[in-house]
Amino acid sequence: MSEIVLLFFIFVIAAFLGKELISKVPSQLHTPLMSATNAISGIAILGGLLVCSISPAWSPSMILGFFAIICASINVVGGYMVTNRMLSMFKKKEGKAK
């Protein structure tokens, strides 16, 4: 039981630390930061797929692996959408006369 409490404590500390670090990032670094988190989420997707493939059906590890795949996929798709929208703001508009 104490191991679960310790792991939960580490999770809560990591969540607060992550929020503090992300809130202090300047807007110029947002796109590179999104690229890094997309890469980390890609690793989480692969880890979730591995856990789901070796776990027995409907075991707690398989359910957590599936949940990790869903959360990381949402992060990857959202990150690419935000990055694409930010990059489209820097494209020149065609068809405008000077």
Q: With the C-alpha atoms ordered 64, 65, 66, 71, is the resulting torsion angle positive or negative?
A: positive
The CA distance from 51 to 57, in Å, is: 11
Residue 6 or 31, more confident: 6
Q: Which amino acid is present at 77?
A: V
The answer to whether the beta carbons of residues 48 and 66 sit under 8 Å apart is yes
pLDDT digits (tens, 9 = 90+) for 80-94: 888 788 888 888 877
| Residue with token string 């590179």 | 32
Q: With the C-alpha atoms ordered 82, 84, 87, 89, is the resulting torsion angle positive or negative?
A: negative
Residue 83 or 57, more confident: 57
**What Cα–Cα distance (Å) separates residue 91 from each residue in 25, 80, 85, 88?**
24, 17, 10, 5
Residue 19 or 59, more confident: 59
| Residue with token string 């999104």 | 34
Which of 11-25, 31-45, 61-75 has the largest mean confidence?
A: 61-75
